[in-house]
Amino acid sequence: MTLIIVLILVAIIGYAVLCYNGLISQIESVRNNQKQIDIQLDRRFKVFESLINVVKKYMDYEQTTLKDVVALRNQAQQAQASGDEKTRIAAENKISNIASGLNVVFEQYPDLKANQNVMQLQEEIVSTENKLAYAKQSYNDSVERYNANKKSFPTTLIVSAFSAKVDFDFPYWQLSEQKIAEQESYTVQL
Amino acid sequence: MADELQHYAVSPADWRRTLRQNNYRTYIIITLFFLIYCAIGLLVDMYMATTYYPQATIPQLFHALITFKIFPLATSIMLIIAGVSLFVSYILYDKLMLLGTEYHEISPGNFQSVPEQQLYNVVEEMKIAAGLRYMPKVFIIDADYMNAFASGYSEKSAMVAITRGLMEKLNRDELQAVMAHELSHIRHLDIKLTLTASLLSNLTIMALDMLFYNAIFSGGGRRDGEDSRSRNGLLMIIVVLRYLLPVISVLLLLYLSRTRELMADAGSVELMRTNQPLASALMKISDDHTQNRDKYNAEYKQTPHENVRREAYIYDPTQAGIESVASVSELFSTHPSLEARLAALGFKIKK
């Protein structure tokens, strides 16, 4: 009889340990995915720099653009350092706009469009914007997995027992209400 | 909407449910394989035990074995053999998958063309979306037919390979959907899973075969009066299983691989959050195989060891009537039909 009780206790403790470790690894993957967004933002800036260097040979367009991108980038980094997410996202979004502007510029220069380097860089722009979007998606997915696990029974018992270590509130990556309204009413003007 | 899909009605794909369902099915199948393996081991043990305890009935022997009154020697040995051979095959497997093909690896810095760069980018994007920690190796197989497969028994040693035909004929989104399907195989650990299942089933059949021939041919050497009832009973079971089990394990393996294909399709939708590119890619691949059947038949035939990859491919060439890939024991497709896959993706033929 005592053997059975001991076995049940061991099983319960083992299960609790597994749950706890599962939560820890989910928390870390959320954090990692959060940083992945930063990595992609950083990468995007580098791609743009090299892109603008190539375009330089073909037009005057770049001088101001390059300065704009660098200025926006500094703005974003300062905002990040001071924890001002709003300014940071605004700056990053402006860089996105410049990117789509560049693709339109390419269409007007046939020999630029045919340039192998430019073709590669265009592919890089598409890919960079995609990577950024997928990094955000991946971050949200990991937040979903963590939240679902955290709130489900019986894991929630363990969360309340060790709330300092395993209970975090990660926000989903999302646009602000105002931004959503702006984007929804946005139409392409040709 | 792509032309290929104009005859289909679209509904959103519930990838969460597909993943859950098929995950559940996988557990059942793997447990079944393991149980069958242990059961055959116990059968061998029981057969051996009848030599020492000719009077014992089958249930008595079974009970004695599972309570360790008689040590289940054969079962233990078989489990050790399974463990060792699984380990060895995990080590050798990656080398096996590209056997016989003309291929080259692509990596940043040695792109030969923009499509290659695009392919690498697409894989990297999907790697980010899937949250994989390691970038899989990307290989291009120099062949005209459209196909792709993933391999590797862990995230770290993962690779994806794609034929030049597929890379050139699909647009960026479709390519991305195919790569998402392949990366889903990697993150679902499908390669490890199907490898384990097929190894277990092969070992089971081998053990049963040995037992069968042993029982048949050693039967004559027995002294009179030693004949036990349970031995005869076991002999019957062995003979029946000898013919039944191979069929059962082939069916189970096929069910498993179809289940995993549907899961990878759902995983592709999960990563891209849209079901349309994968559906149109599958249609393109299937149409292309049907149109160029004779040419591809020759090409698949020219490539040695094509049956190694058949299960791993995104599209089973036998479905287009390309038979050079199939061997005699594989009368059925390893993949669900195109209609079933499209239906699971949310595309149903308009009546």
What is residue B224's predicted lDDT score, i.e. its pLDDT?
47
Confidence check: pLDDT of A53 > 70 = yes
In percent, the amount of chain B with pLDDT more than 90 equals 11
Task: Judge if pTM exceeds 0.90.
Answer: no
Q: Phi/psi zone of residue B189: left (φ > 0), alpha (ψ -120 to 50 degrees), beta? A: left
Q: Is B128's Cβ below 8 Å from some Cβ in A?
A: yes
Alpha-carbon gap: A135 to the closest alpha carbon of chain B (Å): 6
pLDDT tens for each residue of B32-69? 888 998 888 888 888 888 878 877 788 888 888 888 88
Contact pairs from chain A to chain B, CB under 8 Å: 42
State how far the Cα of A162 lies from the Cα of B157, in Å rounded to an integer.
36
The length of chain A, given as a count of residues:
190
Homologous superfamily (CATH) of A2-168 is LemA-like domain (1.20.1440.20)
Contact A134 B118 (CB under 8 A): no
Helix, strand and coil percent figures for chain A, each rounded to 5 = 85, 0, 15
Which of A27, A127, A134, A145 has the most B C-beta neighbours within 10 Å, making it the best mutation to test the interface with B?
A134
pLDDT tens for each residue of A73-113? 788 888 877 777 777 777 777 877 777 776 666 667 776 66
Contact B114 A124 (CB under 8 A): no
pLDDT tens for each residue of B157-201? 788 889 999 999 999 999 999 999 999 888 888 877 888 888 888
**Mean pLDDT of the region B329-337:** 64
Nearest Cα residue in chain A from B114: A120
State how far the Cα of B5 lies from the Cα of B35, in Å rounded to an integer.
43
User: Which residues of B are known to be catalytic?
Assistant: 182
Contact A138 B273 (CB under 8 A): no
Q: Is A53's Cβ below 8 Å from some Cβ in B?
A: no
Burial class (CB in 10 A: 0-12, 13-18, 19+), B1: exposed
List CB contacts of A137: < 8 A, sequence separation 6 or more: B129, B273
Closest CA to B5 of B309, B287, B195: B287
How do strand B103-106 and strand B137-141 relate by DSSP bridges?
antiparallel
What is residue B220's predicted lDDT score, i.e. its pLDDT?
46
Please list, residue by residue across B182-204, b when 16 or more beta carbons sit within 10 angstroms of its beta carbon and e when fewer do. Answer: bbbbbbbbbbbbbbbbbbbbebb
What is residue B138's predicted lDDT score, i.e. its pLDDT?
92
**Mean pLDDT of the region B280-299:** 85
Picking from B128, B130, B271, the nearest residue to A131 by CB comes out as B128
CA distances (Å), origin B136, targets B180, B187, B189, B284, B310:
12, 11, 13, 25, 20
Outline where chain B has alpha helix (H): 15-52, 58-66, 73-97, 114-130, 164-169, 172-187, 190-218, 229-272, 276-291, 293-302, 306-309, 338-345
Let me know: does B119 contact A129? Beta carbons within 8 Å. Answer: no
How do strand B148-151 and strand B103-106 relate by DSSP bridges?
unpaired
Picking from B118, B129, B172, the nearest residue to A137 by CB comes out as B129
- Contacts with A116 from chain B: Cβ below 8 Å: 114
Nearest Cα residue in chain A from B130: A138
pLDDT tens for each residue of A24-45? 989 998 998 888 888 888 888 8
Q: Is A130's Cβ below 8 Å from some Cβ in B?
A: yes
**Mean pLDDT of the region B287-309:** 77
Contact B129 A126 (CB under 8 A): no
Sign of CA dihedral B273, B279, B281, B285: positive
Confidence check: pLDDT of B228 > 80 = no
Q: Strand, coil or helix: what is B141?
A: strand
Q: What is the mean pLDDT of chain B?
A: 81
What is residue B308's predicted lDDT score, i.e. its pLDDT?
64
What is residue B1's predicted lDDT score, i.e. its pLDDT?
46
pLDDT tens for each residue of A136-190? 999 998 999 899 999 998 889 989 988 888 888 888 888 778 878 877 777 766 5
Picking from A33, A120, A127, the nearest residue to B131 by CB comes out as A33
Contact B114 A36 (CB under 8 A): no
Alpha-carbon gap: A144 to the closest alpha carbon of chain B (Å): 12
Which of A127, A128, A129 has the most B C-beta neighbours within 10 Å, making it the best mutation to test the interface with B?
A127
Let me know: does B300 contact B45? Beta carbons within 8 Å. Answer: no
Q: Which of B1-10, B18-27, B249-258, B331-340 has the lowest mean pLDDT?
A: B1-10
